[in-house]
Structure 1
Amino acid sequence: MRTPKQLTPLGAIASGLAAGLAGTACMDTVRFLRQRRAGGERNPLRWEFAPVRTWQEAPDPGQVGKRLIEGFTQRELPDAAAWPVSTFMHWSYGAAYGALYGVLAGSARKPPSGVYGVPFGAVVWIGDYITLPIAGLYEPIWKYDRRTLVDDLGPHLAYGAATGTVFWILGKARTVRVRTHRTHRAHVNG
């Protein structure tokens, strides 16, 4: 039985999706700031939505999307699809992991604070180093040097921290709405 503070499963998924999108924006902000520090000249929107002209240039989320679409349709995607597929997959990947976080955190009897997002971000990171080598997009984790792994872990921790925090804030806002609604209803009926 659900307690009044627990989210419904659909509410947990919806809050998780929103939190995952915020987490993705935070992860991308960390990556953007790094490239700026390294001398990058692009503004944030041009960097975030940089054109991907060919499938050779497509990042890993785009490569996964290409394989899924081509496997389902049995048709080769043209290079013109590289940018929209890559962008869609990147954001949907972050949102989907956020939904998973929402289900896990929303299932807890006591809503977790935002700090639980940080270890979740580490789980997402390690998941990449399990699934992407299987897909042939990454090398096995032991083939990367420590610096590369740490550099990749940082944005994932930022993703987790933002996802957990936004999910927690949305849960707090829901608790306030439930409390306010009950107080109003008691006053009206009272």
Structure 2
Amino acid sequence: MAGTTPLGAVARGMLAGAAGTLAMDALLYLRYRRGGGDEGFVPWETAASLRDWKDAPAPAQVGRRLVEGLFQREVGPRWARSANNATHWAYGMLAGAQYGLVAGSLARPRIGYGIPLGAGLWGTGYAVLPAAGLYRPITEYDRATLAKDLGAHLLYGLTTAAVFAVLRAGCSSRRADRAPGRGPGAR
């Protein structure tokens, strides 16, 4: 598409990645509620009950390791919740930014490209997180667990691709409206 800049593609990709993260989290929350969970969405989404590293999920642990490795300082337990939220959302938005760069360079990206995006993120998680000691090897998970997790990641990918397409189309139509001879009253 003429006029699509890499920065614009990254920005739209990040917004799309945020929407994909929210869609994935909404699915996971519905599963949580169906499984008997009673926490409201916002406290659940923001890990309101997370107080220390002992029970912190993988995103928090990854964030902790990044900060401790970079700054060579121990991160106290009061930061577990913040690390979880920041890492979770940053990962979803950065994956969206990468998608935006790739999809933004195509003449016409397809929503179906979200399938390899989601599947790739799912597979990467099961390759990297066990190597980091944060997940068990993929062979130790049952098929139902893997299928549910894959489904959530596919939803992320498809939502990210769909929102990116909408944002890109919106920018294209606004650009066309500003083109010479296309203003109000033009024929």
Q: Same fold (TM over 0.5)?
A: yes
Kindly indicate whether residue 109 of structure 2 is the aligned counterpart of residue 116 of structure 1.
no
Find the aligned partners of 1:104 and 1:187 in 2 and give their Cα distance.
Answer: 30
Q: Compared with structure 1, are the counterparts of its residues 181 and 187 closer, same or farther at alpha carbon in structure 2 (3 Å cutoff)?
A: closer
Query: Any conservation in 1 of the 2:20–2:92 contact (CA below 8 Å)?
Result: yes
Q: In the alignment, which residue of structure 2 is the partner of 1:139?
A: 136
1:91 aligns with 2:92: no
Q: How many residues align?
A: 183
Paired position in structure 2 for 1:32: 29
Residues 11-64 of structure 1: CA distance to partner in whole angstroms, max 9, x if unpaired?
Answer: 110000000000000000000000111121122112111221110111111101
Query: Hey, what does 1:41 align to over in structure 2?
Result: 38
Structure 2: unaligned runs, 5 residues or longer:
none
Question: What SS does the corresponding residue of 2:108 show, helix, strand or coil?
Answer: coil
Partners of 1:85 and 1:187 in 2: how far apart?
Answer: 48
Query: Given that residues 111 and 171 in structure 1 are in contact (C-alpha distance below 8 angstroms), is that contact kept between their aligned partners in structure 2?
Result: no
Q: Cα RMSD between the aligned structures?
A: 1.4
Match of 1:14 among 11, 30, 47: 11
Counterpart amino acid of 2:79?
A
Correspondence for 1:164 among 161, 164, 186: 161
Conservation of the 8 A alpha-carbon contact between 1:22 and 1:163: yes
TM-score, length-scaled by structure 1: 0.91
Look up the equivalent residue of 1:44 and give its one-letter code. Answer: F
Corresponding position of 2:177: 180
Q: Is the 8 A contact 2:176 2:182 kept in 1?
A: no
Q: Which amino acid aligns with 2:11?
A: A
Structure 1 residue 187: Cα displacement: 5.0
Query: What is the aligned partner in structure 1 of residue 66 from structure 2?
Result: 68
Q: List structure 1 segments (4+ residues) > 6 angstroms apart after TM superposition.
A: none
Question: 1:26·1:162 contact (CA, 8 Å) conserved in 2?
Answer: yes
TM-score of the pair, normalised by structure 2? 0.93
Structure 1 residues 53 and 174: alpha-carbon distance in aligned structure 2, compared to 1, 3 A threshold: same
Give me the whole-angstrom Cα distance separating, in 2, the residues matched to 1:29 and 1:118: 18
SS in 2 for 1:186: coil
